[in-house]
């Protein structure tokens, strides 16, 4: 008999970023529940005024989305009893930007595509079932699919204001 008891859990990450160069940002990310901390950095290349000392933010975003899906494929393959050897994912994340004169530009997503190649002897139906589960279990993909609004606050003097 399958265990159909519902288990709920929260996953919370916290980050603190500091500008440390022309366009470089050093970000300390903490996963409090696991008592883990990660030191990451982003930078832009010379075309955007940076020194290219770290990947640009969109490279980390692409890696995070790709890696999240790959992790869930491997984790859920065991739970769903779908054998998987190697996993390869090719990601294409596409945005448009628009700038008028020297004004700050605006951006909008065009589309994201993830091409998944599974080394598996499982049927096509089971591979689809596995990928569907992985998509639903990938925190980043489900966030993108919901179109979650991001809350912002701005510190003015000693006060935080909604922005």
pLDDT in tens, 72-94: 999 999 999 999 999 999 999 99
**Residue 36 shares a structural domain with residue 83:** no
Q: How far is CA 80 from CA 65, 68, 77, 142, in A?
A: 22, 18, 5, 20
Give the predicted TM-score (pTM) of the model. 0.92
Domain of residue 37: give its range: 12-55
**Residue 100 shares a structural domain with residue 128:** yes
**Residue 27 shares a structural domain with residue 67:** no
Total domain count, the chain: 2
The mean pLDDT value for 107-116 works out to 97
With cut-offs at 50, 70 and 90, classify the pLDDT of residue 147. confident
Question: What is d(CA 63, CA 140) in angstroms, rounded to the nearest whole number?
Answer: 11
**Residue 99 shares a structural domain with residue 145:** yes
**Residue 27 shares a structural domain with residue 38:** yes
Q: Phi, psi at residue 41, to the nearest 5°?
A: -140, 150
Q: Phi, psi at residue 87, to the nearest 5°?
A: -125, 130
pLDDT in tens, 112-143: 999 999 999 999 999 999 999 999 999 999 99
At residue 2, the pLDDT reads: 66
At residue 1, the pLDDT reads: 52
Q: Is residue 35 predicted with pLDDT exceeding 70? A: yes
């Amino acid at each position: 008999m399958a265990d159909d008891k519902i288990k709920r859990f929260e996953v919370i990450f916290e980050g603190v970023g500091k500008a440390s160069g022309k366009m470089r940002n050093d970000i300390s990310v903490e996963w409090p529940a696991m008592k883990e901390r990660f030191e990451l950095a982003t930078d832009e290349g010379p075309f955007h005024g940076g020194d290219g000392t770290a990947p640009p933010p969109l490279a980390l975003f692409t890696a995070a989305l790709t890696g999240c899906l790959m992790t869930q494929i491997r984790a859920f393959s065991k739970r769903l009893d779908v054998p998987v050897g190697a996993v390869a994912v090719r990601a294409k994340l596409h945005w448009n930007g628009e700038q008028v004169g020297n004004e700050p530009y605006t951006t909008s997503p065009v589309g994201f595509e993830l091409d998944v190649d599974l080394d598996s002897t499982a049927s096509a139906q089971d591979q689809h079932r596995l990928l569907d589960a992985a998509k639903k279990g990938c925190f980043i993909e489900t966030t993108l699919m919901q179109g979650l609004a991001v809350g912002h606050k701005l510190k003015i003097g000693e006060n935080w204001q909604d922005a």
